[in-house]
Amino acid sequence: MNGTPSSSPDQTKRGITAALALAILLASLGTSIVNIALPTLAQVFTASFAEVQWVAVSYLAAMTLSAVFAGRLGDIYGSKGALVAGLGLFAAASLLCGIAPTLPLLVGARALQGAGAAFLMTLSMSLMRELASERGVGRAMGLLGTVSAVGTALGPSLGGMLIPIAGWRVVFLVQVPLTLVALVLTLVSLPSSTDRSRPHAATPKVAVDSNLRPALVINLLVAAVMMTTLVVGPFYLSLGLGLSAAMVGYVMSIGPLIAIVSGAPCGRLVDVWGTRRARTAGLVAMIAGGFVLGLLPTSLGVAGYLLGILLLTPGYQLAQAANNTAALADVAKERRGTVSGLLTLSRNVGLIAGASALAAVFAFTVGGSDFAQASAAAIATGMRVTFLCAAGLMGAAVLIAVSGSLRTGTCRRDA
């Protein structure tokens, strides 16, 4: 990586990678680990589902609203310093969540944690782009995509394991020591050269030019589709296919395992193929995965579902790595934090869209929100319609990617 000390460069590179990957993991873990605790929170605080839902929504909303601000601060005051501040905020907010005595205080602490997560997600991407060699940018983005996907999918299983042992507070408190480890790694490993002052950095309005907008839209669409698998998948597996809760957990864990295996190879493909070719290939794989999830599970059961995930997950990894690399390829250093913030913003909006809009398509097609009363056939119909819509969204993303509206300078061939 550029800018690393000459002494023990491999060790420094590993330390930087570990620090940035752990920061991304924490931000993603915070997104999903609380979901498994919502029923418990409803009982503890004698609250309705709509009330405890704010524990999850406040985090995602604060992360979305703070993303561009975090990137802007990184551009002005230095990405390393801003990341350190974000890690400190995330650690303090996690502690506040773990000791919150009332639901409103917990919601407020989660909002602070989400704001800290915006710094982690945005500045890790900016720093990885800044410190990676030109020939390894795609590989670096592929690694961050892998860690993000693993963190999001790992949350429910980790929370489900910890809550019976130590109660709901542990899902927040466990993040405190992990954040402190990331903070130490960041302080020790990242070069001080990333602490720069650029008071005249580009504003977010300038950064959103005609070349960046398509990348932001694609980022939103692919995130929405992947979030849909996490929201709709468990309902289909349990109510549509009649799997036990344990089996649903096992099947849902296949996606993260695929992400772990495919992330680095997808990043290398971006470096070899160039961003346009790799992004288009990833989106086409996601289209195929959407069609498979919409059509095959009804006839093939779990095998059909897993085949769809086998196509969708690496397709997402490839498309996201290529898209982020393209968006950041020709961006000046003083704008990378802002652009990374915009990428984080579009991703989070996509997550919200997947959890709301496409989930609403599923509920409407099933015939209502009381899925427990729906027949297996109705659940299967909802699954089919939802993922055919998802395939259609990926088709729109392909049209955006190949329309020629993206800047010509982002087509890189490192072969």
Tokens coding 391: 């395939």
| Residues 6+ positions from 354 with CB-CB distance below 8 Å | 223, 224, 225, 226, 227, 228, 230, 231
Convert the pLDDT of each residue in 226-277 to its tens digit.
888 877 887 788 788 888 766 776 787 788 778 778 877 888 888 888 888 8
Give the C-alpha separation, 59 to 109, whole Å. 9
Q: What is the CATH number of the domain that holds 71?
A: 1.20.1250.20
Residue at token pair 């980790």? 158
Q: Can you list the alpha helix ranges (DSSP code H) found in 78-102?
A: 79-99
pLDDT of residue 408: 43
Three-state DSSP class for 34? Answer: coil
Q: How many domains does the structure of the chain reveal?
A: 2
Give the C-alpha separation, 316 to 286, whole Å. 6
Specify whether 367 is located in the same domain as 397.
yes
| Residue 130 lies in domain | 1-200
pLDDT of residue 5: 45
Three-state DSSP class for 282? Answer: helix
The 10 Å Cβ neighbour count of residue 304 is 18
Q: Which of 139, 173, 200 is the last residue of a domain?
A: 200
Specify whether 119 is located in the same domain as 267.
no
Specify whether 299 is located in the same domain as 400.
yes
Specify whether 165 is located in the same domain as 211.
no
Burial label for 411, CB within 10 Å (0-12, 13-18, 19+), is middle
Specify whether 255 is located in the same domain as 183.
no
| Residues 6+ positions from 45 with CB-CB distance below 8 Å | 51, 52, 102, 103, 106
**In the chain, which stretches have pLDDT less than 50?**
1-7, 194-207, 405-415
> How is residue 201 annotated by DSSP?
P
Specify whether 291 is located in the same domain as 397.
yes
Q: Which of 149, 167, 200 is the last residue of a domain?
A: 200
Specify whether 212 is located in the same domain as 175.
no
Specify whether 408 is located in the same domain as 344.
yes
Question: Which amino acid, residue 306?
Answer: L
Q: Which of 139, 170, 200 is the last residue of a domain?
A: 200
Specify whether 61 is located in the same domain as 178.
yes
Burial label for 120, CB within 10 Å (0-12, 13-18, 19+), is buried
pTM, full prediction: 0.69
pLDDT of residue 346: 85
Specify whether 364 is located in the same domain as 237.
yes
